[in-house]
Amino acid sequence: MRLKLVPSETNWNFFRFDTITLGASCLAVIASIVLFFVVGLNFGIDFRGGTTIRTDAHSAVDVAAYREALQELNLGDISITEVFDPTFDEDEHVTLINVQAQDGQESVTAETIAAIEAVLQQVDPTITFPSVESVGPTVSGELVQTAIIAVALAIGAVLVYIWLRFEWQFSLGAVAALVHDVTLTIGIFCLLQIRFDLAIIAALLTIVGYSLNDTVIVFDRVRENLRKYKKMELKDLLNVSINDTLSRTFMTSFTTLIALIALFVLGGDVIRGFVFAMIWGIIVGTYSSVFVASSLLMRLGVKRDWTKTDGGGGGTQFANIDA
């Protein structure tokens, strides 16, 4: 007996309130942009600059005790990451402590590093400090530029890929969905002031791929149905296509969310921001594949009769191109 969260055959009208859903998406994008410029992101050490201190201790690491001791120094954003490696000895316990650059300073001063070492030695007298590395404002600024370029190039590559595989109307719909997902993810990070670092950039790029996968699945079925139902109105054909792929879309998103929620609850503070971005991205990515990409495709229309120069149906001159 198999578990079915979605019936095998559904006939839901996803475009009944398409004007409302598309309008709500536009308002959400605008609100995210306003939040970005008014509130701003809570950049982590990767983007603001700071210092990474590597520690080594013989006893087990107590991250909570480390954090409580460092809070007395009022150093701002501090992240503590325990490092695991199969090559370590049984009494080798390593952590990486990231401290943000202090106001008006290139990096954390030698006096501040000495104070950090002193309070940690009170927590664990066996602790040593093998290395100290600093990230200055210049390097962090370059990381910001590189991150923006990476996301922009990913979306640009998607634009070209969908254009070649399908048709330009499909391409615009897919890219609109990706921009929607990335913008809303940045907006929620501005609203909640969750730390934004390089791990979140990795999450954004992953969201781009996940959202694109959902969109391409729907668009592939649309292309098949364009050949199968040559006289059906585009709105009805899109509804049929989305209903055909609904079970697959829901089950993929649902099972991925189960794993991510487990990581969010049990994975600890280090990866919580990354996992939150992934959870949010999967939810808005699944939504945008239907209510943004498909809605925009319905409004743009696609050519169905290739004997004419234009038309209001669907198809693709690059239908045989596979990636």
Residue 249 near residue 214 (C-beta atoms within 8 A): yes
Largest CA distance in the chain: 82
pLDDT of residue 136: 64
Helix (H/G/I), strand (E/B), else coil: 109 = coil
Which CATH superfamily groups domain 18-42+140-300? Multidrug efflux transporter AcrB transmembrane domain (1.20.1640.10)
pLDDT of residue 315: 43
Indicate the domain borders of the chain: 18-42+140-300, 50-135
Domain 50-135: give its CATH code: 3.30.70.2040
Give the whole-angstrom CA distance, residue 66 versus residue 75: 13
Q: Which residue stretches of the chain have pLDDT < 50?
A: 1, 306-323
**Helix ranges, 3-62 (H):** 18-38, 45-48
The 10s digit of each residue's pLDDT in 172-217 is 888 888 889 989 999 999 999 888 888 888 888 888 888 888 888 8
Q: If you search the block for the tokens 């210092």, which residue do you land on?
A: 51
